Amino acid sequence: MSRFAAPIAEQIWDMKYRLKEADGTPIDDTVEATWRRIARAMAAVETEPNVWAPKFYAALEDFKFLPAGRITAGAGTGRSVTLFNCFVMGTIPDTMSGIFEHLREAALTMQQGGGIGYDFSTIRPKGATVSGVAADASGPLSFMDVWDAMCRTIMSAGARRGAMMGTMRCDHPDIEDFISAKADAARLRNFNMSVLVTDPFMEAVKADQSWELVFDGKVYRTIEARDLWNKIMRATYDYAEPGVIFIDRINQQNNLSYCEDIAATNPCGEQPLPPYGACLLGSVNLARLVKDPFGDSAALDVEALDELVAVAVRMMDNVVDASRFPLEAQAREAQAKRRIGLGVTGLADALALVGVRYGSEDAARLTGDWMRRIARAAYLTSARLAAEKGPFPLFDKNAYLDSPTMQAMDEDVRAAIAEHGIRNALLTSVAPTGTISLYAGNVSSGIEPVFAHSYTRKVLQKDGSRTEEEVVDYAVALWREMFGDAPLPDHFVSAQTLAPLDHVRMQAAAQQWVDSSISKTINCPEDIAFDDFKDVYLTAYETGCKGCTTYRPNDVTGSVLSVSESAETPAPQDTGSGEVIYMSEPLDRPHSLEGRTYKLKWPGSEHALYITVNDVIHGGHRRPFEIFVNSKNMEHFAWTVALTRMISAVFRRGGDVSFVVEELKAVFDPRGGAWMEGKYIPSILAAIGGVIERHLVETGFIAAEGLGLKSDPTAGVMPLAGNRTCPSCGSFDLQMIEGCATCMSCGQSKCG
């Protein structure tokens, strides 16, 4: 029998985690083969790999321990990819050469599949004097635009776009521009953005005091703290960003406050990291550890939890030694501190299985108990590993034991660390698990509530037909298996019905025993009053959270999908040029295709370019399938090959790909463009874009010149039927979970 609890789980495995040859031939025949691959790779760094590989396999079996996607997809493959999910890059120097050196480092990191975070507070504000140059500074937002453009062109390992976090201190002179940047839905769309909020600022807000905006010791302006706070609140109320990071709390509670300062986080916020800091992630599946589910003695098997955590910590510690790193500075930082981020998934399902309502006081208490148990087991295991393999190199016993985390820890744990040291400086985190939770049978994600008890998933097949299948939450499916059509008990709740402060209560309960941070989205109803919305953030601060991210349906980012037991996917609006067809996976190439070849003679060039666009008939419509650019001029060979491959890949993904035309037409050559047929064309790439546009018009894909999309439709610049479409499959099933837009049709998630 298959180990997969639902068809979507097997599809996620096949699409994202199954090892395959370059031509798509599977190497992992079964999910058991995937588990064996990971177990062997993690055991390879042990002195007795044959002893540990079976133990690691047992932890992975039946989805009890879920390494993050980078590990599951990359471990044991021999590929040049990092197994680390999270990176914060180096401190950006306030010089042009330094800024662009860090841009290069970011590109290298994203090329290997890492999500990155940057603090842009170190760049001088807009209008500041640039010494030695008769010009004013353009400010950090302008450089964020450069980072965003770079990220748009880099495809992460595993065919996933890179994700970035940009932060800025609440006292930076450009903070107001930072806060309002995302009001433009097409700007900085590859960034998550958060304001670094300090304790003095929060005290100034509460006391209604003034607040100085400062850079390099110079006060640029003085404003009212409460006005700035309201601007942050209004922006996230209106378009869901920026988030808020309580940066002083993060640094005060950091186990390593004696040797590092933190000013940024990874893209989803659960990993506050120092410059060049890196962290790997993994989650214990609590839903698989409940004994006697729905019974009178239903409870989490805490002994099994202790054993699973111990094996998981050892596995994750081995990843530090087994992984590649994009940059040597990242490798040194990881080896010096050996951070890991062990978290949970399936919390809401586990609560449902033991009869407790998510968001209640009982649920918060139980969550705190379980997270404390995990932290205790993790720290004890790491102390034993230190006795066996040595503590992390920067371990300072007295300073480490004085940290707030250690002050709260049980005395036997403190004694073990005092005697042996500790192998891993930090051990716990709650990361987004949107994709791996689907892979594990649609368990609830991270510490989030169940988003929907069930929904209908519609998949467009290669022949243009659609199939439907019901996707059921893990706990709901188990209830049905045991009790048939009996109504769900009252303690079954979903994100659609929870009050925002119930979310905060759960985040605060978990944060007490998480030494890093937590990725969590607090879903708010569209009609929540603005003052009530602000109270969510103040409550998060007062109850000990390290950050706060909310999502309220809005006109800029679209609405979260409304879910009901009979919910239907909304249909796209008629764009006037025929139905846009999205595909669940790239189409196979037919043996023959109909196409046209165009000759392009660029002024001043000896040889012409010949551009061939081939089309496919799909869903009754003609659409571009592939492109070839040929020339006798070998000077252009490398970039024309790269261009044809990239554009063809975009064509085959489906959807409205006319944005390719506008992207190419916007490219300018600093050496100058040329006049062609009475028009000024800024570059040869823009000329190629014009040829593609002509073809799309002639074949009826777009109505006329200039009517293509101005940017990639994944930006949500042109929302259809009130909801954004999935960039992978084109469905309207995007949900905002843990700060990430996650597709409930194909499992696509920006966060892994």
Active site residues: 266, 268, 270
Residues 6+ apart with CB under 8 A from 16: 69, 72, 73, 158, 435, 439, 747
* Beta strand pairing call for 191-197 and 243-246: parallel
| Contact call for residues 420 and 391 (beta carbons, < 8 A) | yes
| DSSP-assigned states of every residue in 646-696 | HHHHHHHTBS-TTHHHHHHHT---TT--EEETTEEES-HHHHHHHHHHHHH
| Contact call for residues 443 and 346 (beta carbons, < 8 A) | yes
Cα–Cα distance for residue pair 456/370, rounded to 1 Å: 33
Q: Which residues pair with 155 in a beta bridge?
A: 161
* Beta strand pairing call for 164-169 and 115-119: parallel
Cα–Cα distance for residue pair 114/184, rounded to 1 Å: 26
| Contact call for residues 690 and 715 (beta carbons, < 8 A) | no
What's the number of CA atoms in the CB half-sphere (13 Å) around residue 540? 26
Q: What amino acid is encoded at 403 in this protein?
A: S
| DSSP-assigned states of every residue in 33-66 | HHHHHHHHHHHTTSSSHHHHHHHHHHHHGGGSEE
What's the number of CA atoms in the CB half-sphere (13 Å) around residue 366? 21
Q: Two tokens at 559?
A: 């609405």
CB atoms within 10 A of CB 138: 16
Cα–Cα distance for residue pair 255/387, rounded to 1 Å: 19
Cα–Cα distance for residue pair 122/174, rounded to 1 Å: 11
Among residues 88, 85, 57, 86, which one has the least CA distance to residue 73?
A: 85
Q: Enter the DSSP assignment of 181.
A: G
| Contact call for residues 518 and 469 (beta carbons, < 8 A) | no
- For the chain, helix, strand, coil in percent to 5 are 40, 20, 40
Sign of CA dihedral 675, 678, 680, 684: negative
CA distances from 122 to 89, 173, 260 (A): 13, 11, 17
Q: Which residues pair with 598 in a beta bridge?
A: 611
Cα–Cα distance for residue pair 245/269, rounded to 1 Å: 8
Cα–Cα distance for residue pair 355/294, rounded to 1 Å: 6
Which residue is listed with tokens 């990971």? 38
Cα–Cα distance for residue pair 273/350, rounded to 1 Å: 30
Rg (CA), the chain: 26
| Contact call for residues 386 and 423 (beta carbons, < 8 A) | yes
Cα–Cα distance for residue pair 395/418, rounded to 1 Å: 11
Q: Two tokens at 562?
A: 């409304």
Query: Quick check: helix, strand or coil at residue 414?
Result: helix
Cα–Cα distance for residue pair 46/420, rounded to 1 Å: 19
